[in-house]
Amino acid sequence: MYLSRFLSIHALWVTVSSVMQPYPLVWGHYDLCKTQIYTEEGKVWDYMACQPESTDMTKYLKVKLDPPDITCGDPPETFCAMGNPYMCNNECDASTPELAHPPELMFDFEGRHPSTFWQSATWKEYPKPLQVNITLSWSKTIELTDNIVITFESGRPDQMILEKSLDYGRTWQPYQYYATDCLDAFHMDPKSVKDLSQHTVLEIICTEEYSTGYTTNSKIIHFEIKDRFAFFAGPRLRNMASLYGQLDTTKKLRDFFTVTDLRIRLLRPAVGEIFVDELHLARYFYAISDIKVRGRCKCNLHATVCVYDNSKLTCECEHNTTGPDCGKCKKNYQGRPWSPGSYLPIPKGTANTCIPSISSIGTNVCDNELLHCQNGGTCHNNVRCLCPAAYTGILCEKLRCEEAGSCGSDSGQGAPPHGSPALLLLLTTLLGTASPLVF
């Protein structure tokens, strides 16, 4: 009784899942790789494009500072308040937990009080530049889905560059420049994202929007992912189908939002004046209380789950794919070249499932749907074709006389039809299949 009830509930759930499936996908979630549907032939798998949910990626990163000894507190030192150079009773001491400001405090899940932050040494070696590289690495390709937000506990830097890498830090390219004076700092005219358009969305700009002001509510620097999305999806991102369509057809656009590493280059601390006050250098330093990076593992639309194990992110690949990014077909599933999934057509996309190689069909020699026995042969237990007396071969595709070299015009057995050898037959059948194979 319990078994029959369970089977009934399971059948109902499968039906409900099939019916409900299109609704979340209309919004571009792509949160299922396959679902069971009912056809005239019975219950079969319906494959679709899929991707992991967007999440807080700072939980999985590794941070590196250059120079490595730039963090304050070793030796201990005092620093002054930005707004009041005579208030210098703050202390940084790496040997005392309450006074230490190590780099991991940029990513801790703090409450509102007390505020925790990383802090650099002060600019005591002026006029030598006070510069810091903060590198965030994932050892995995990720796709950014929301603004990168950096919250400073000090004043926002007078000069800064945000950079990205797509090859695990081997090469870098600028994402955005930040300065109080873009022309002076980087020989660039100042712009904001609002000055861009669909056609210039990939332009690298210098902005002065986040480099002025030292009050409590002006400590944040943005790299505006959502504003760039809005050029395609509308101001409230309601037309995600349009954005996904653009990402699908424009590789440069998709790569723009894809990274393996980010690097924050702090080039000049907040001065707040035209000239550096050399009598109070302890007021100049960098301090960051929070960095937000939201995104998802890049799995090439072949996985909905990305696992974190042994300090490493890996896609749990479906569609017969494998690799850290599901970037290749599994062994014995290379019947056609690997391809990423596609967001199109909306809402399910296209799975582009890897299909079995001809050499890996193995014991499943024939069936009644794909690998038909030829010339009147019949399939026996999916392992061999029972051929008529005049034919032989895996699929009964050869004349016996041809194998013996005795076919002739007087034998009553002509040559086999053009294009019927097993290899050609299997290639045509496998590569021309409209729906994915199910094994």
Judgement on whether residues 45 and 104 belong to the same structural domain of the protein: no
Q: State mean pLDDT over 333-349.
A: 91
Q: Are residues 70 and 140 in the same domain?
A: yes
Q: Final residue of a domain: which of 251, 273, 295?
A: 295
- Residue-wise over 2-17: b if at least 16 C-beta within 10 A, else e? eeeeeeeeeeeeeeee
Residue 17 lies in a domain: no
CA gap 432, 337 in Å, rounded: 13
Band of the pLDDT at 150, cuts 50, 70, 90?
very high
* Torsion angles phi and psi, residue 6, rounded to 5: -60, -45
Question: For the chain, first and last CA: distance in Å?
Answer: 31
Say yes or no: 305 and 380 in one domain. Answer: no
| 405-431 pLDDT tens trace | 777 645 444 444 443 444 444 444 444
Give the tens place of pLDDT for each residue, 206-219: 999 998 655 445 78
192-219 average pLDDT score: 85
Give domain status of residue 418, yes or no.
no
- DSSP bridge pairs for 220: 151
Q: At what angle do helices 225-233 and 240-249 cross, to 10 degrees?
A: 100
Instruction: Please check whether residues 189 and 107 belong to one and the same domain.
Output: yes
| Model pLDDT, residue 392 | 86
> How long, in residues, is the chain?
439
| CATH number, domain containing residue 35 | 2.10.25.10
Same domain, 42 and 120: no
**Residues 13-45 pLDDT 10s:** 433 333 333 333 333 468 899 998 887 777 888
Same domain flag for 317 and 356: yes
Q: What is the pLDDT of residues 108-136, one digit of tens each?
A: 876 544 679 999 999 999 999 999 999 99
- 341 & 265 share domain: no
Q: Which of 242-251, 348-357, 427-436 has the lowest mean pLDDT?
A: 427-436
Specify the number of domains making up the chain.
3
Does residue 5 lie in a domain region? no
Digit-coded pLDDT (tens) for 83-92: 666 778 789 9
Query: Which of 312, 337, 360 corresponds to the end of one domain?
Result: 360
Strand partners of residue 65: 134
Q: From its phi and psi, is residue 16 left (phi > 0), alpha (psi between -120 and 50) or beta?
A: alpha
Residues 134 and 187 in one domain: yes
138: domain range? Answer: 55-295
At residue 236 the predicted structure's pLDDT band, cuts being 50, 70 and 90, is: confident
CB 333 within 8 A of CB 355: yes
Domain check: are 195 and 327 in the same one? Answer: no
Of the CA atoms within 13 Å of residue 427, those in its CB half-sphere come to 7
Quote the pLDDT of residue 17: 39
pTM over the 0.85 mark? no
Name which residue leads in pLDDT, 38 or 11.
Answer: 38
231 vs 234: CA distance, rounded Å? 6
Kindly state whether residues 259 and 277 are assigned to the same domain: yes
- Is the separation of the CB atoms in 10 and 296 below 8 Å? no
Does any domain span residue 432?
no
Q: Where do the H-state alpha helices sit in 21-55?
A: 22-26
User: Of 210, 226, 212, 129, which is closest to residue 176 (Cα–Cα)?
Assistant: 210
Element (H, E) at 182: helix 182-186
